[in-house]
Structure formats: C-alpha cells, structure tokens
Amino acid sequence: GFSVVALGRSPSRGAEVVKEMVARGGGQHEFISCDAFSLGNLAKSAAAIRATRPMIDVLVLSQGMATIQGFTPTDEGNDQKMTLHYWGRMALIHELLPAMRQASAPRVISVLSGGVHGGYSGVLTDGELKESYSIKNVADAAGFYNDMGLDALAHDPSNANVVFVHAAPGFVKTSWGTEMPWWLRGPIRALQIFGTAPSACAEAMCSPVFQTRHELLASLPTNTDTRGTTNTSSHSPNLTDKMQLCDVGVVIMGPDAKPAARTAEHTNENRAAVWQTTALVLKRAGVLLAGV
C-alpha cells in the first residue's frame, strides 16, 4: 500500500487522519503541519518530504477556501485565495517534481475546478488580479491558471513521464463554505444534503492513480489538441491520431472522473503569460522555476 504524507494547518486533525490511515494499513504515514498561505513554508515542507522520501508516486492538492472577501494579502503580498488555489500548488508541485520524476508512473492531481471555470481576461494585463479582483475573476483565474500551469509543466520534457490532472470535485457534503457569512452558510448547508459523499468524491478524484498513462490520455476529448485550439474538422481521429494530439500529460477531469473540456482561452500565448506571472510570484518567495 501507499505511504502517505498529509500536509495541513491543524495538528489535531492531522493526527486523526494519520490514525485513520494507519488503521487502514499501507506503509508509514505522517502528518506535516504547514501554513499553506506561505509559499516559503510550502517550499520548506516540500524539502522536508524529499529529505525522507526521494521518490514520490502521487501528489494530490486540494487546499482551498470559500469566501466573498476582496483581495486579501498574505504576509508575502499575494492574495489568500490565489495562494491556496494556485500559487501555492505550483510551488509545492515544482519543489516535489524531482522526487516524482523518479517514480515509474507519477501523477499530479490538482482538485479545484477542471472544466467548470471560465477563462480569465486579465491574463496579459493584470496577472496577479491586483486591479481587477472580483469573486468571479478570482474563481476563473484560479481554475484557468491551474489549466495553464499544469499545461506548462507538462510541456517540460523533463516531466515526460508525469501525468498532470486538473479535476473538479463537484458539490460535496463537506464543511466547505464555513468562512462564508451566516446568510450564505445556511443555504449552503441545506443544499449539501444533496451533495456527493466525500468517499465517493475521493474515489473519483483519485481514479487517475489507478489508470495507465495510455488509458488517461486515450480518454481525452478528440476536439481539443495540445495547443488548446478547437479541431472543427468532421474527421474523427483514430486512437493513434488522438495520442499524437493529446500525449502531453495534461488531463482536465470533471466530477464524474470523465474528461472535461478546456476553455476557449487555452492557448500557447496565455500559457506562456500565466507561467511568466507564476515564475514572478514564486521568485519573490525564493522558489525559482527552471527555464523561466
């Protein structure tokens, strides 16, 4: 079985998680307390993991928050939501990739809003959302940036054996929304009785771990190529054609664990712009992206 390292902010909750995993078996499990609002702290946590685990098979990222607050800076000057939903995820992925490349079939799964979000129009003009921040813009930017960031990593030849997944969990029966005002928490809690059970959601989100690379990439939609442009031809590519179009390690996955569509803004230009902004933000925290 897997040996699991869980990162989180609550040592007491972490102890409960480790206890439950130990009861289920597997290898040696561990919890590391980590302030996910701090890119520097995430980098230190990644270094601690790599010090004892030189090979990592799977990385699942699901940190997040649900609020209606405006741009709220962390101690490093980045927006809290964007830090949890994107900047911090890229920092952690980048710092753990050297260990993941040692695995035979590594998977990176970022659970946020794959196939659900829209594009973000300020990619080229306000990449950090300091001037155009809104609830919709930050939601779209976080999801769109996950698409673009994972796409950029997938295009790096050194990550050729890694499959990157951006997934959407759907509406789940969890404590999501606890940071919301009381007048929103009530309706959210009432609706959550109709949500997906956490165990069913977890099974769907982790499904890429148990699929081969060939299975994952062969299941991608045939109307989107590796550049994110739409194929309007009536020709239906055979499997070989499809693998040539999609074999770059990027999978957008919906709540049902099936492939979801990329946005119309999924282009080379936007990918490069998002990655440049990502490099700038991470560099301020001491995380240097290779080749940028």
pLDDT of 130 higher than 80: yes
Residue 224: predicted pLDDT: 42
pTM, to two decimals: 0.86
Please, which pLDDT band fits residue 246 given cuts at 50, 70 and 90?
Answer: very low
> Is residue 98 pLDDT above 60, yes or no?
yes
pLDDT digit string, tens, across residues 17-45: 999 999 988 888 999 999 999 999 999 99
Q: What is the pLDDT of residues 141-151, one digit of tens each?
A: 999 999 999 99
* Phi (first) and psi of residue 253, to 5 degrees: -125, 135
Mean pLDDT of the chain: 85
Model confidence band, residue 233 (pLDDT cutoffs 50, 70, 90): very low
Q: What is the pLDDT of residues 157-208, one digit of tens each?
A: 999 999 999 999 977 756 655 665 655 666 655 666 656 788 889 999 999 9
Per-residue pLDDT at 2 exceeds 60: yes
Say how many C-beta atoms besides its own lie within 10 A of residue 178's C-beta. 12
Q: How do 107-111 and 5-8 pair as beta strands? A: unpaired
- What pLDDT is recorded for position 181? 65
Under DSSP, the state recorded for 33 is E
Tell me what pLDDT residue 241 has: 39
* Range of lowest pLDDT (130-134, 237-241, 247-251): 237-241
Give the C-alpha separation, 97 to 151, whole Å.
14
Task: For 77-92, give the secondary structure using H, E and C.
Answer: CCEHHHHHHHHHHHHH
Q: Could you tell me which residue, 229 or 140, shows the higher pLDDT? A: 140
* Phi, psi dihedrals of residue 242, rounded to the nearest 5°: -65, -40
DSSP helix/strand/coil, 13: helix
Instruction: Give the distance between the most distant pair of CA atoms in the chain.
Output: 56
DSSP state of 73: B
Least confident interval from 68-82, 175-189, 201-215, 262-276: 175-189
pLDDT score of 193: 66
* The pLDDT of residue 245 is above 80: no
Q: Could you tell me the two tokens for 223? A: 């109307």
Which residues have CB under 8 Å from 130's CB, separation 6+? 71
The structure tokens listed for 78 are 């980045």
CA 168 to CA 255: how far, in whole Å? 5
Tokens matching residue 187: 């309706």
CA 282 to CA 92: how far, in whole Å? 10
Identity of the amino acid at 281? V
Residue 60 three-state SS: strand
> Residue 204 is encoded by which pair of tokens?
């769907």
Is the pLDDT at 227 greater than 50? The verdict is no
Question: How many angstroms separate the Cα of 37 from the Cα of each of 86, 87, 260?
Answer: 11, 9, 29
| Highest mean predicted confidence (pLDDT) among 131-140, 191-200, 241-250, 253-262 | 131-140
- pLDDT for residue 25: 87
| Confidence at 238, pLDDT banded by 50, 70, 90 | very low
Tokens 């990550």, located at residue: 159
Euclidean distance between the first and final Cα of the chain, in Å? 37
Question: Quick one: pLDDT at residue 242?
Answer: 38
